[in-house]
Chains A and B, each alone.
Chain A
């Protein structure tokens, strides 16, 4: 591999560097390479070698361009080339339009996708000290399987500070469930609530509009809100609200805080997103200080660069061994993850605050954007060389009266660059209009602002030159290479010279189009599968109400009031997430099994089986008449029975630890088994699930949900439920969702991905179609006489159509042969993300073929039919 790269680089060097300099330069580079190979290994040595070769050639390339420009200036030819270019573009209007359209489409896509990629790469870079900030993550390797976690323990912060002097600042944050925020008579349920250390706003550069970053969370009664919340509570002119700092607001109607700061809401390219910052104490109390069972705190450190550092990966990996009392059980190690790496480099880390993307995904998007750009340039090359017959006489004449080869070449390059400049400007306008739409689809805030970002202009200039070269270089060489005598003497000399080249280019375009449509098809089938897969419970007709603790008397009142309605079948309580949306995992001890077991916990009340339609296949569900059910009964799923190693699960003893503690939360027996259902998203395989009634501890938490099965008009249901809710519960607003929609929302990231991919594939096909349209017109023109003669000799319309389209169809099939295996490999990689996949069949191969055939038929149809239907006399008369 490395050897091959080395050879390619050497070839490139030999091709670019003039002969008289080559020997010395190549010798020096080779010698340096051989020395480095021994010192740092062949891999890195070759990489540096390639880098050095590129550096060498860059210098010469620049020189050549400057030289070119100087010659031009001397000859005062600039304006002449420009004039000729504009004349010839105006003369061939349809050709110019097709090319501009194609290039504009290609460049727009490239531009928009590049901006998106840039935005993704810019995540968290806006902090001044971004390169000095790291997130502390945990890693554990059990049975050879490595798990990484973004969350760490609360007491880690003081320990790290004591042990490592090079840590300048350190801050913990912890995200909590949605909270009700109240000011006077205004209530709002806010979901982006972070608990944070006082150092948080100093460590990060989130802008504080009011208040002092050093002290705004330094006592337990202070709170920071963003301008979004300020607007909700105090109106749009909150800045004029007297003494807003110090104003008391309430959380959950019981905790009182004074506003100590108002922050600007974090930008969209921040992985930390919050609307409210609160201290830890009021929510959790003092027990956190010594809790080593609650690894849900994200710890960030700022490491100074000037001091000698003892903060080595090695030291960190041993850190918890010396400090964590639970080390023997969980064997966790610490690692540092650079801040800028969090958004794209956390695919293997659990517990993210904001769903990230991956470098692979960004790379793939960019690769597709480049491919589309290449397809657009290919179009240009195709059409420009196809035009050769029209331009041949011109070139011949120019040469005959003394034009040199490079002058002719230059003329065509200028022509290309005029065209690319027009396309560049129009795509800037189109992109400007498209970006809001893109932001809506992907939920980011990508911006295009060429005026304020001056570097974009420089980038644009470079891009313009590059694109002009990419599209114009080959046609220019090709056209300038004609021998004048052959051009002027006969009209046959030039024909079909580059026909094979064009076929290869068309093949290449088809390959890309087919590959992209194939990808779209696979993604579409998979999404369709996810949406329609039987999850093992009722998805539709379930409404979910949020934010009511089960301990509240209101719960049972509301529940019975709900069930009085004729349109409500049953209602049930669920703690945390609902089944289907992924719950939380706990550790437990199963009878007859030595080691601890892990399982998904589902706290619900008696009616969960009716509401969800879980099928009980052994034993029974919970019953309100059985006294012991509330404290000693478990229902498990089939997988749990397998995992726990039980052949006869009914009556087996089971106990589990409470979340974040080492004490047994409940000890009881299994009373029933339900058929497996998908407790989590379909990216995960079905795991062990235990269903039980909530313990007193759990009942105290607010994040309960009520799921109710209803029938009939959903609008009426919502109105009735809201009215009933309000009569029983005044302290929290009526918040609802539909289970079916909640389930769909899990695949939002994939859905967005699929949409963007759809657009890109559509554009790639459109561009290729434009190219085919132009090419077909050329083919028909150049075979005009042949078609005329065939028709005179008795060929009918269909045989002529078949004759012309045959060559295109052959190319499509050949392209499919190459494109399908490649894209199958790539899409399989994507499908690895899902534990459950659609069954692949012929459909995903036939669909792209059909689409491409259709587009081809449309593109070449017009000219082909015109050629086939035309009167042969008109074609043969002129000689």
Chain B
């Protein structure tokens, strides 16, 4: 199984929900919108490169727009491995939340 850092997981999730549409800037934007923290473009690039080398995402060349000075995008989509990695992390988490000791907290402080 492939390990995922919190940042990698968030970005992977963003790519999953925007499958085939996501690219560098849109990932950074979405990250800001969903998590409330800003992230620099180079940091996104670093993570994307790492994810791609792990085989969790694949990329294809997309269209160019005027705002990009006529430069093409690299559109990202989740690979099967990527999907499995995300599922696994999520399942693991759910397992924890199903444990009685976690449930007692939910009872105490609510969902």
Chain A positions within 8 Å of B, measured between CB atoms, are: 23-32, 34-35, 51-52, 55-56, 59
Contact = CB atoms under 8 A, between A and B. Distances in A.
Given A27-B69, A27-B72, A28-B73, 14 more contacts: A24-B23, A24-B74, A27-B73, A28-B41, A28-B45, A31-B68, A32-B25, A32-B41, A51-B40, A52-B40, A52-B42, A55-B40, A56-B41, A56-B45
B20 interface: no
Contacts of A23: 71-72
B64 to A, nearest CB: 7
Contacts of B25: 28, 31-32, 35
Contacts of A30: 67-69, 71
B99 to A, nearest CB: 33
Contacts of B43: 55
Interface in B49-82: 64-65, 67-69, 71-74
Contacts of B64: 27
Given A24-B74, A27-B72, A27-B73, A32 B28 contact: yes
6 contacts: A24-B23, A25-B45, A28-B45, A30-B67, A32-B28, A52-B42
A23 B40 CA distance: 18
Contacts of B65: 31
Given A31-B67, A32-B25, A32-B28, A24 B72 contact: yes
Contacts of B46: 59
The 10 closest A-B pairs by CB, nearest first: A27-B71, A28-B24, A55-B42, A27-B68, A56-B42, A24-B74, A31-B25, A31-B68, A34-B67, A30-B69
Contacts of A32: 25, 28, 41
Interface in B1-48: 23-25, 28, 40-46
B32 to A, nearest CB: 11
A22 to B, nearest CB: 9
B97 to A, nearest CB: 30
Contacts of A24: 23-24, 71-74
Max chain B Cβ within 10 angstroms of own Cβ: one of A25, A29, A34: A29
Interface of B: 23-25, 28, 40-46, 64-65, 67-69, 71-74
A651 to B, nearest CB: 73
Contacts of A25: 24, 45
B41 A29 contact: yes
Nearest to A34: B67
Contacts of B73: 24, 27-28
Nearest to B75: A24
A23 B74 CA distance: 9
Given A24-B71, A24-B73, A59 B42 contact: yes
Max chain B Cβ within 10 angstroms of own Cβ: one of A31, A51, A56: A31
Nearest to A58: B42
B53 to A, nearest CB: 13
Nearest to A48: B40
Contacts of B41: 28-29, 32, 52, 56
Max chain A Cβ within 10 angstroms of own Cβ: one of B23, B64, B68: B68
Contacts of A52: 40-42
Contacts of B74: 24
Contacts of B23: 24, 28
Contact of B71 (A26, A51, A56): A26
A165 B111 CA distance: 34
Contacts of A56: 41-42, 45
Nearest to B72: A23
A29 to B, nearest CB: 6
Contacts of A35: 25, 67
A673 B23 CA distance: 81
A29 B69 CA distance: 10
Max chain A Cβ within 10 angstroms of own Cβ: one of B23, B24, B71: B71
B21 to A, nearest CB: 14
Contacts of B72: 23-24, 27
Nearest to B23: A28
A29 B28 CA distance: 11
A56 B28 CA distance: 15
A23 B24 CA distance: 12
A27 B23 CA distance: 10
A19 to B, nearest CB: 13
Contacts of B28: 32
A740 to B, nearest CB: 60
A34 B65 CA distance: 12
Contacts of A31: 25, 65, 67-68
A24 B64 CA distance: 10
Nearest to B44: A28
A32 B67 CA distance: 9
B46 to A, nearest CB: 6
Contacts of A26: 69, 71
A99 to B, nearest CB: 37
A67 to B, nearest CB: 15
Nearest to A49: B41
Nearest to B27: A28
A29 B23 CA distance: 12
A26 B64 CA distance: 12
A25 B71 CA distance: 9
A238 B21 CA distance: 76
Nearest to A51: B40
A32 B28 CA distance: 9
A29 B74 CA distance: 13
Nearest to B68: A27
Nearest to A26: B71
A565 to B, nearest CB: 78
Contacts of A27: 24, 64, 68-69, 71-73
B9 to A, nearest CB: 21
A33 to B, nearest CB: 9
Contacts of A29: 41
Nearest to B59: A24
A61 to B, nearest CB: 12
A27 to B, nearest CB: 3
A34 B25 CA distance: 11
Nearest to A22: B71
A29 B44 CA distance: 11
B66 to A, nearest CB: 9
B15 to A, nearest CB: 15
A502 B65 CA distance: 46
A392 to B, nearest CB: 42
B68 to A, nearest CB: 4
A361 to B, nearest CB: 33
A206 B65 CA distance: 60
Nearest to A25: B45
A25 B72 CA distance: 10
